[in-house]
Amino acid sequence: MANEVKLASGGVDDLISSIVAEAQFVAAERSVMRNLVKTFTIPQNNGGTVLQVPIYSTPAAAAVAETVDLANTAVTTSKKDITLGEVGVMTTVTDLALNYSKQNVISDIGRLFGEAIAKKIDQDLTGLFSGFSTFALGNATDTQTEMTAAHLFAAAAKLKNAGVPGPYFGVFNPASIFNMKKTMTSTFVPQGNTGVVNAAMTEGYVGRIAGIDIFETSNVVADSATSCVNGVFARDALGLAMGQEISIKTQRDESARATEVICTATYGVSELHDSYGVQVPVDATIS
């Protein structure tokens, strides 16, 4: 069953490099969150599956009189652990499908697998939004409140007031941000905002508001039929530890006259700085 597969066209081995390239391209293109968070690369055989990230305290300076000795300031560290785990997806391609399809079945499967793993990474990262202890407006019970620009201005103000360095990113479920975009495109919006308004109307992209770069993705999963927890954060708020990038292997099942195609990746996610993120629980209906 584990025997290497050889076909008349040169064998499945000839397809493997193109499968990996396609899958990694799709993952990079479709994943929003991966480029917005702190990413660590974990080499293999490093002695463990838990990455420890030291977090330094923020010291404060004070005025000192001439000739007065400075006193020692304690610099402390805490740590955040990111535990690596595997995710994977597998399917079986029959010889009939592989040999007689007009499409490159294996390549198409590689594309689907890349999208699946990219989606999983995004959902694991956006799932951390509900762990932020700071709310843009209100509290955790305000899940039926429609989103407005005030949520963004409040989130930015709270991050700046906490001394969080930018840039700031806002990642929202499309249904959550719909009401704000609808309000922005109203004829009552002041003419000074025409640049942002035109972008929202013609491109479906909100752009930059209150110093926050806004992204929309359905990978911010609604926690109910009518509500969703979105997030505004700085890059160091969340961490992604990548152990193994997308890997695609094949295994021959001779009795089934088929080839198993297995795609896996190894990574872990964690909140790093709680004060570096703000959660935005709002309504997630379009009306």
pLDDT value of residue 205: 44
Q: State which amino acid sits at residue 174.
A: P
Whole-number average pLDDT of the chain: 81
* Per-residue confidence band for 29, with pLDDT thresholds at 50, 70 and 90: low
85/78: higher pLDDT:
85
Question: Is the C-alpha dihedral spanning 20, 24, 30, 33 positive or negative?
Answer: positive
CA distances from 268 to 4, 30, 37, 118, 264 (A): 32, 19, 12, 13, 13
Please state whether 271 falls in left (phi above 0), alpha (psi between -120 and 50) or beta: beta
Three-state DSSP at 249 gives strand
pLDDT value of residue 16: 66
Q: How far apart are CA 60 and CA 130, in angstroms?
A: 30
- The CA dihedral of 63, 64, 70, 76, to the nearest 10 degrees, is -10
Q: How far apart are CA 283 and CA 287, in angstroms?
A: 10
pLDDT value of residue 120: 93
Helix axes 13-30, 105-126, angle to 10 degrees: 30
pLDDT value of residue 201: 39
Question: Is the C-alpha dihedral spanning 190, 193, 194, 197 positive or negative?
Answer: negative
* Per-residue confidence band for 13, with pLDDT thresholds at 50, 70 and 90: low
Q: CB-based burial of residue 95 (10 Å sphere; 0-12 exposed, 13-18 middle, 19+ buried)?
A: middle
Of 225, 227, 233, nearest to 142 by C-alpha is: 227
* Average pLDDT of the residues in 4-8: 41
Contacts of residue 239, defined as CB under 8 A and 6 or more positions apart, other chains included, come to 37, 38, 39, 40, 53, 80, 82, 269, 270, 271, 272
46/209: higher pLDDT:
209
pLDDT value of residue 130: 93
CA distances from 117 to 28, 60, 122, 200 (A): 10, 43, 9, 29
pLDDT value of residue 200: 42
Q: CB-based burial of residue 49 (10 Å sphere; 0-12 exposed, 13-18 middle, 19+ buried)?
A: middle
Write the pLDDT tens digit of every residue in 101-130.
666 777 788 888 888 898 999 999 999 999
pLDDT value of residue 185: 57
* Average pLDDT of the residues in 58-71: 82
* Average pLDDT of the residues in 163-174: 92
* Average pLDDT of the residues in 210-232: 87
Specify the pairing of strand 168-172 against strand 212-216. Answer: parallel
In eight-state DSSP terms, residue 204 is: S
Mean pLDDT check: name the lowest of 56-70, 168-182, 202-216.
202-216
pLDDT value of residue 94: 86
Q: How far apart are CA 152 and CA 206, in angstroms?
A: 12
Percentage of the chain modeled with pLDDT above 90 = 30
Of 247, 281, 274, nearest to 261 by C-alpha is: 247
